[in-house]
Amino acid sequence: MIEKKKATPISKLGEFGLIEHLTKDIKPKNKETIEGIGDDAAILDYGDNLQVVTTDLLVEGIHFNLMYVPLKHLGYKSIMVNLSDVFAMNARPLQVTVSLAISNKFSIEAIEELYRGMREACDKFNVDLVGGDTTSSLTGLVISVTALGKVKKGEVSRRSGSKVNDLIVVTGDLGGAYMGLQLLERENEVFKVDHNMKPQLEGYDYILKRQLRPEARGDIIEFFKEQNIIPTSMIDISDGLSSELLHICKESKTGCNLYEDKVPLDSQTKKFAEELNINPLVTALNGGEDYELLFTINMNDYEKLKNNPDFTFIGNITEKEKGANLVTTLDGRSIPLTAQGWNPLK
């Protein structure tokens, strides 16, 4: 007789719960490992500089749909999301490795397209593609990218460094990538019903680009260097503003006030959200995949950022006891911030 083993569904824990469960007693054994699991990238100590390492896995049918995602864009994005995690440590990316599992439905030309996008993304930030692994898959395409980067000791920004009274800042605008995905999904549904239907994408070029071809904010890291700014904490926005801000508060043991009316939204994001009867704010808070940087700075650095259109001040860090709150525009009420996020395991 085979003994019946306990089988708890993974959905019970969700993505973050599962990671915590699997890794809670994994402790670094080597003195070179400064930070293991828990930030945008691991931090390794090799002398004057710290090395950061981050990895991501993209699975066909889960993270991308080849019905409407061109392979070249997919390649570009799969590199960019990793470089974004390196930038989120205030580090410079130097190398990536790329591992692929490919099913027999893909031609050489198709994989060449994927690589064209990957190389474009690497070239943009002067990153070397130094290796990987290739194997076959029974069903679809699986892409795993690992990125390595470098940062001077003392310049690294972790999730855990925010302090009470720090200002909370975000780059660019939020929610666009999520609305771009909604648009692509809608047009794909229409196409599945009637193959003669042409997709209606006019007027939405910006949100489509936000979804299909995101740009990691390496320009911001350069700006920090020039201005001698070291964010007290930083994270990139892959799962939505709420989720990322809660990560910073949890790791820093702080609270926060996020002001609803300050959250930056593009006009196309707002327009399409209204068309679908979605509150545009929700696309920023819970949408994800914007790959903007969310960071905190000491008030003394305010002057250096205040007139720069890349940055929006969206709140401030408070004592942990005050909790993480969203301050509403209408009546100034504070409601607890919750992370719905984008959870692929739900």
Q: Which residues bind ligand ADP (CB under 6 A)?
A: 19, 22-23, 37-40, 56, 85, 238-239
Please report which residue ranges of the chain form alpha helices under DSSP H.
14-23, 71-87, 108-124, 176-193, 205-212, 218-227, 241-252, 267-275, 280-286, 302-305
Choose from ligand ADP, Mg ion, none: what does 310 bind? Cβ within 5-8 Å by kind: none
Annotate 285-305 with DSSP letters as a single string. Answer: HHT-----EEEEE-GGGHHHH
Please measure the distance between the N-terminal and C-terminal CA atoms of the chain and give it in whole angstroms. Answer: 33
In the bound complex, what is the minimum distance in angstroms from residue 57's beta carbon to ligand ADP?
9
Choose from ligand ADP, Mg ion, none: what does 39 bind? Cβ within 5-8 Å by kind: ligand ADP
Helix, coil or strand: residue 188: helix
Give the neighbor-by-neighbor strand order of the sheet with 33-35.
Answer: 33-35, 42-46, 49-59, 142-152, 92-102, 128-136
As to burial, measured by CB atoms within 10 angstroms (0-12 exposed, 13-18 middle, 19+ buried), residue 230 is buried
In the bound complex, what is the minimum distance in angstroms from residue 54's beta carbon to ligand ADP?
7
By CB under 5 A, tell whether 301 contacts Mg ion: no
In the bound complex, what is the minimum distance in angstroms from residue 28's beta carbon to Mg ion?
20
Choose from ligand ADP, Mg ion, none: what does 251 bind? Cβ within 5-8 Å by kind: none
Choose from ligand ADP, Mg ion, none: what does 19 bind? Cβ within 5-8 Å by kind: ligand ADP
Identify the CA nearest to 134 among candidates 162, 95, 157, 106. 106
> Based on CB atoms, which residue is closest to ligand ADP, 113 or 239?
239
In the bound complex, what is the minimum distance in angstroms from residue 39's beta carbon to Mg ion?
8
By CB under 5 A, tell whether 85 contacts Mg ion: yes
In the bound complex, what is the minimum distance in angstroms from residue 192's beta carbon to ligand ADP?
31
Stretch touching Mg ion by CB under 5 A, among 11-19, 34-42, 71-79, 224-232 = 34-42
> Based on CB atoms, which residue is closest to ligand ADP, 56 or 310?
56
> Based on CB atoms, which residue is closest to Mg ion, 16 or 106?
16
Annotate 9-65 with DSSP letters as a single string. Answer: -GGGTHHHHHHHHHHTT----STTEEE-TTSSSEEEEETTEEEEEEEEEEEBTTTB-
By CB under 5 A, tell whether 40 contacts Mg ion: yes
> Based on CB atoms, which residue is closest to ligand ADP, 96 or 305?
96
Buried b (16+ CB within 10 A) or exposed e, 21-58: eeeeeeeeeeeeebbeeebbbbbbeeeebbbbbbebeb
> Based on CB atoms, which residue is closest to ligand ADP, 251 or 310?
251
Choose from Mg ion, ligand ADP, none: what does 292 bind? Cβ within 5-8 Å by kind: none
In the bound complex, what is the minimum distance in angstroms from residue 47's beta carbon to ligand ADP?
23
In the bound complex, what is the minimum distance in angstroms from residue 38's beta carbon to ligand ADP?
5
Q: Which residues bind Mg ion (CB under 5 A)?
A: 40, 85, 236
